[in-house]
Homo-oligomer: A and B are copies of this chain.
Amino acid sequence: MANVAIVGSGFIGRAWAISFARAGHDVRMWDQSPAATGGARDYIAGVLGDLVANNLLRGQTVDTVLDRIAVVADLAEALADAAHAQENTTENLDVKREVFTLIDTLAAPETIIASSTSAILPSKFTDRLRGRHRCLVVHPINPPYLIPAAEVVPAPWTSSETVKKTRAFLIDAGHAPLVMKRELDGFIMNRLQGALLEEAFRLVADGYASVEDVDIGLRDGLALRWSFMGPFETIDLNAPGGVRDYVERYQSIYSNIFPQMLRRVDWAGEVMATVEADRRKRLPQEDLGERQVWRDRRLMALAAHKRESDQEFGR
């Protein structure tokens, strides 16, 4: 097991700490603002309690995992002998540049330095670093202790050794890394999500479907198969001869509608009144927090179900 540094102790930093400590690593968390780390361990203890109740701590107790997480007052201390450092500061290029310069200066030469950024390309804030070959993005879906996917995005100068080690480190911690061959705006998951959302907003804006209809179409339809197979395997199994057969049979349905997807709807424009009214009718603003708790409970139950199904039927 290794030492892991968590830089920035907001929700993403805390979530990574949980995931890495659960995997057996010694986690040291540092934040520029001492106030931010104040409630961190209490918060983490609460999440660990939920996880153990859903049998999602690999058979360990809350205390065993919690004891592996320390909040430290000094960045150098957090980085000491760290195999992996995970940065989780504000989504701001200047901040990322500054923090990465600091980490690269303080960390041992073999420490891998990963950013949780969802929107900034790694080349933008690692270009001038002496250790830029060991820098990259590892972008989670929140919360990473419940959603295994994590995007590994190299800058042009990130070494293949860095990518390889990061991938192995994530798999060992129970994650499912998607390794990009080179960086691209939005990475993989936000591009796929964005493509689907563009069409969803268009359907609502043009008056063909309600917000709820779109959600039904995913939660009671498309996303069921995708949640254990993904979209390529889904179409591979949806024609007798596999994916090529599927494309030969059905591509024309999709190519015919493609020209209708060239027009973008401003999500914050007129359509937002419809979207917000529909959502607030189903879920009043004051219940958003409670519903987030519900979401995490359902995610935990789904994670437990998937693990059981993997064991019973195979992946």
User: Interface-forming stretch among A44-52, A55-63, A107-115, A291-299?
Assistant: A291-299
**Number of A interface residues in the complex (CB < 8 A):** 110
Q: How close is A241's CB to chain B, nearest CB, in angstroms?
A: 8
Q: Cα distance A171–B4 when bound, in Å?
A: 51
Q: How close is A206's CB to chain B, nearest CB, in angstroms?
A: 8
A93 / chain B contacts, CB cutoff of 8 Å: none
Given A247-B268, A279-B236; A230-B242 close (CB under 8 Å): no
A228 / chain B contacts, CB cutoff of 8 Å: 219, 298, 302
Which residues of chain A (264-305) have a CB below 8 Å from chain B? 264, 266-268, 272, 275-276, 278-280, 283, 285, 288, 291-292, 294-295, 297-299, 301-303, 305
A312 / chain B contacts, CB cutoff of 8 Å: 301
A209 at interface, CB cutoff 8 A? yes
A195 at interface, CB cutoff 8 A? yes
A207 at interface, CB cutoff 8 A? yes
Which residues of chain A (183-241) have a CB below 8 Å from chain B? 184-186, 188-200, 203, 207-233, 235-238, 240-241
Q: How close is A70's CB to chain B, nearest CB, in angstroms?
A: 29
Given A199-B191, A242-B279, A309-B302; A220-B176 close (CB under 8 Å): yes
B227→A251 contact, CB < 8 A: no
A124 at interface, CB cutoff 8 A? no
A215→B188 contact, CB < 8 A: no
22 contacts between A and B (CB under 8 A): A118-B253, A177-B216, A178-B216, A178-B217, A191-B203, A192-B203, A192-B217, A192-B222, A194-B254, A195-B195, A197-B231, A211-B232, A219-B230, A223-B227, A226-B226, A228-B302, A236-B283, A237-B295, A240-B288, A248-B268, A294-B314, A301-B308
Given contact pairs A215-B231, A243-B276, a sample of 4 additional A-B residue pairs in the complex whose CB atoms are under 8 Å apart: A178-B221, A219-B228, A242-B279, A297-B313
Chain A residues near B (Cβ < 8 Å): 118-119, 141-142, 146-149, 151, 176-182, 184-186, 188-200, 203, 207-233, 235-238, 240-244, 247-248, 251, 253-258, 260-262, 264, 266-268, 272, 275-276, 278-280, 283, 285, 288, 291-292, 294-295, 297-299, 301-303, 305, 308-309, 312-314
